Copies of this chain bind each other. A is one copy, B any other.
């Protein structure tokens, strides 16, 4: 596609009014305090060249908006930096990008197009309004640790994407995660700490505890697993150490009940470190708690 064709296609997507039809060098966003986050995906590092372009687009949007969800922010809009150069890929990317914007209620604010040269780098910047959630450092001893949805589906989906057998439902959880935007807004006023589960439940729980200066214990038997994941043969240990779930992990005062569907998976205490309980007994931590270092 040419730059003109690509921008013409972008103009058919939901546009932020500040984008003024993508006719100028920038956009004006007037929404009070803005939460700003940006992520880049590199071909061969964050996704495979053989991955469906529409799914790559979806994930680019979903991972950024999941950061907004974790802040209890509304979705103001997104900016896209995109390398044009492979017609079929560009068109499939745009289709998935439009699907994601519409599904998540996001609007395009602007961006930049460049010529494709070698491995693709895709960058999305998301702006959120009314960020109201606490940061990840507010958990206190006595708080309970909760998580939305189910854990492990995306990790199973990655295995399936790499060639294993398994149901489309799990592959979809990996390729088209849905950020918990509504849940994030409902949780923001009551959570003491909140983050999204991107690298793995255990590693992210440990990070929340470390940032908060308290200890955390996770009960493996409480980790919520989907029927599809159980039927596929997945267990809680694998679920808690795989990534890409994009569920919300949050701390609530002990005894408080969350305003959204969620599962209590552990508790915080005075002290430090991450501990694990399985079948009622303390067990050793697995050698890998999740994605330690993703270069992003």
Q: Which residues from chain B contact A112 at a C-beta distance below 8 Å?
A: 38-40, 123, 296
* A42 proximal to B (CB < 8 A): yes
The residue that A125 contacts in the complex, of B20, B79, B295, with Cβ under 8 A, is: B79
Does B117 lie within 8 Å of A26, measured CB to CB? no
The residue that A135 contacts in the complex, of B24, B123, B295, with Cβ under 8 A, is: B24
Q: In the complex the two chains form, what is the Cα distance from A42 to B113 in whole Å?
A: 10
Question: Separation in Å of the A51 CB from the closest CB of chain B?
Answer: 15
Q: Which residues from chain B contact A25 at a C-beta distance below 8 Å?
A: 37, 67, 70-71, 195
Q: A108-147 CB contact bits vs B (8 Å, 1 = yes)?
A: 0111111101110101010110010001100000000000
* A46 proximal to B (CB < 8 A): yes
Q: Which partner residue on chain B sits nearest A46 by CB separation?
A: B114
Does A36 lie within 8 Å of B29, measured CB to CB? yes
Give the number of residues in A that approach B within 8 Å (Cβ atoms). 57
Q: In the complex the two chains form, what is the Cα distance from A3 to B296 in whole Å?
A: 8
Question: Separation in Å of the A131 CB from the closest CB of chain B?
Answer: 6
* A161 proximal to B (CB < 8 A): no
Does A117 lie within 8 Å of B33, measured CB to CB? no
How many copies of this protein are present in the complex?
Answer: 2
Q: Contacts A117-B44, A295-B115 given: A33-B30 contact, CB under 8 Å?
A: yes
Q: In the complex the two chains form, what is the Cα distance from A32 to B33 in whole Å?
A: 7
The residue that A38 contacts in the complex, of B39, B79, B115, B211, with Cβ under 8 A, is: B79
Q: A1-19 CB contact bits vs B (8 Å, 1 = yes)?
A: 0010000000000000010
The residue that A123 contacts in the complex, of B40, B68, B128, with Cβ under 8 A, is: B40
The residue that A32 contacts in the complex, of B30, B44, B109, B117, with Cβ under 8 A, is: B30
Within 8 A of B (CB), among A17-62: 18, 20, 23-30, 32-46
Q: Which residues from chain B contact A226 at a C-beta distance below 8 Å?
A: none
Chain A residues within 8 Å of B, Cβ to Cβ = 3, 18, 20, 23-30, 32-46, 67-68, 70-71, 79, 81, 83-84, 109-115, 117-119, 121, 123, 125, 127-128, 131, 135-136, 195, 211, 293, 295-296
Pairs across A and B, CB under 8 Å, 27 listed: A23-B211, A25-B70, A25-B195, A26-B37, A26-B68, A28-B34, A29-B34, A30-B32, A38-B79, A38-B110, A40-B81, A40-B123, A41-B114, A42-B115, A45-B114, A46-B114, A81-B81, A81-B121, A81-B123, A112-B123, A114-B296, A117-B118, A117-B119, A118-B119, A119-B119, A121-B121, A125-B125
Q: A39-B112, A83-B121 are in contact. List 11 more A-B contacts (CB 8 A).
A: A25-B67, A26-B36, A26-B37, A29-B34, A36-B110, A41-B114, A45-B114, A81-B123, A84-B295, A113-B295, A117-B118
